[in-house]
Chain A
Amino acid sequence: MSSREPILVVEGLAKTYRTAAGPVEALRDVSFELARGERLAVVGESGSGKSTLVRALLALVRPDAGRVRLSPRGAGRMLEWSSLAGRELARARRYVQPVFQDPMASLNPRRPVIAAVEEPLVVHGLARGDAARARAIALCAEVGLEPATAARFPHELSLGQAQRACLARALASEPELLVLDEPTSALDVGLQAQIVNLLFASARARELALLFVSHDLDLVGHVAERVLVLERGRIVEAGAVEQVLDAPRHEHTRALVRAWQL
């Protein structure tokens, strides 16, 4: 891991939400690195800060402390990702793309799928007009959606097709890091395997780093090279996937693994 150059460097990330019931520390001093093309899983129970981490990495929430740096090849330099704003942030967003848990909810119900795949191409100036449409069709084909299917509205697709569309949309802006928030938990087992294989193929072809959040340790064991364990906003264990799943050191990880083995 250390031999590969990092795409993402997270240092001392902290985020506290003010709620009616008092402040809630969603993230506390979270630091880690992710190398180019690496596959990292973040595991933890609900309320462990996974969603906040995802949103911070997508620059959808601003951390209270700490920073996230991003080093995409396309930009040619290290970006202060967590403190970018305005046009700079908008331009840099193409390098980090999300895939969310519920594919139906993450597609605009009023737009055909092909339009969603085409939009990032146009917005980031990668292609226009017929060229953009052709690229979008090619991306859909890559994830296994035929043009006729891609021309449909989200509600006319199956869950698996919708998640493929989300993947095509995420790949459109030529990202170097995909942040996947429980990308398969809405799907049944057969579909999960298809989507995971698709992710693998796309990531390898592009030297794409994957950071995915999951509570499904089967998936984690299958996909990830490295694992971070979050508990109440803090990283309690980190290491290679075999080591963390087979010989967990932290009590919380042991509890997670026990629950999984049952």
Chain B
Amino acid sequence: MVQGSSQRAFGVAGGGARALARSVLTRIGVFLGVSVLVFCVIHAAPGDPSLSVGVDVGDAVAVASDGARARFRAEHLLDASLVRQYLHYLGPFDLSPRGHPWFGGTGEDPWGGLVCFDFGHEFRRPTISVSSELAKRLAVTVPLTAVAVLLAYALAVPLGVACARRRGSAFDRATSTLLLACFSVPAYWAALLLMLVFGARGLDWLPMLGLHDKDAAEFGAFASALDLARHALLPVVVMTYGALAYIARQTRGAMIEALESDYVRAARARGLAETRVVWRHAFSNAVFPLLTLAGSLLPALVGGSVLVESIFELPGVGRYAYEGFLQRDYNVVMATTLVSALMTLAGLALSDALYAWFDPRVRRA
């Protein structure tokens, strides 16, 4: 038996590198699949990106001439076949008129595309590269999402544990009902309600739109931090409460299961302090499902950011995606979708890694 289990451990450890390679390759495949799918969908959608082409005149955009539109279409291969367009997007060869000479280009810009980490330029503002704009937008969305996730876990886990320990009590029932209600309320509805209550039309306690006051540039460090916090408060609340309710319910369920296990019963019978029983023995086992949850929560929050950022007019990735869709800016749509696909895959990889780290059955295997 001893020999058997060590053989088993060896067998799997030997396959570890291969398993890792396979999972990385699978994820790259999934990522490319997503890129093809999104590319086809966005091109199949009605609407013509060249209609939104214009000449920037200060704040206004003048409608472009037919000639300018034709040039735009040629430059972005909009009249080429879908396959050619996709290969142009994927890279590494630039297939546009100024692209690689092998494909009939002038050779000014031979390389480019996704595999060169090049998301192209915005259709509407050709001087702005999608990557640099995306970086700016991520700097808004990522901190907001991170705060929302951390806050959700920080509040939900103790709440779920408390409910599980007092299972069936008035506290448990009241909390569970409230959480279910929270979970059922759609985010856009909650966002609008919060804006009505706390915004200028209601109590007027909090700013409603954007991330900074219009005079923020003149504020000191403390005042501008406070200003940012006041602007971010409602969006963070809207992004948090649903996840909080969900995590708390999962925590409660996992804890109830752990608290009723024989090893917890045995731990109690051994005379351990209740806090040690609850945290060391029950919680350390209940934590697995919560970790897997983190992987699926992250993409959901990134997706939810489209809504929240649009409602609160925050300059984040979600809003960028929304604007891209409205203007049929293929490059923006592709980039934002692929970034969120990447985050989803990263989230899943993260939860796999955490799971392996925390569960000795996986770690040893």
Contacts and interface: CB of A to CB of B under 8 A. Distances in A.
A255 interface: no
A106 B270 contact: no
B361 A155 contact: yes
Contacts of A105: 261-263
Contacts of B269: 58-60, 93, 96-98
A139 to B, nearest CB: 14
Contacts of A98: 265-266, 269
A93 B266 contact: no
A94 interface: yes
Nearest to A95: B271
A119 B263 contact: no
Contacts of B276: 123
Nearest to B363: A153
Nearest to A55: B265
Given A153-B360, A156-B364, A158-B1, A106 B272 contact: no
9 contacts: A90-B273, A105-B261, A105-B262, A105-B263, A107-B263, A108-B285, A110-B358, A110-B359, A152-B5
B69 interface: no
A161 B360 contact: no
A60 B1 contact: no
A91 interface: yes
B40 to A, nearest CB: 46
Contacts of A102: 262
Interface string A136-159: 000000000000110011011110
Main secondary structure of the interface of B (DSSP, over half): helix
A100 interface: yes
Interface of B: 1-2, 5, 9, 261-263, 265-273, 276, 281, 284-285, 358-361, 364
B262 A110 contact: no
Given A110-B284, A156-B5, A90 B272 contact: yes
Nearest to A108: B263
Interface of A: 55, 58-60, 89-94, 96-98, 100-102, 105-110, 119-120, 123-124, 148-149, 152-153, 155-158, 161, 166, 169, 173
A120 to B, nearest CB: 5
B346 to A, nearest CB: 26
Contact of B262 (A90, A100, A155): A100
B359 A100 contact: no
Contacts of B268: 60
Contacts of B360: 109-110, 153, 155
Contact of B266 (A89, A110, A149, A169): A169
A173 B272 CA distance: 12
Nearest to B264: A108
A109 B270 contact: no
B271 A109 contact: no
Nearest to B266: A106
B278 to A, nearest CB: 13
Contacts of B272: 90, 119, 123
Contacts of A55: 265
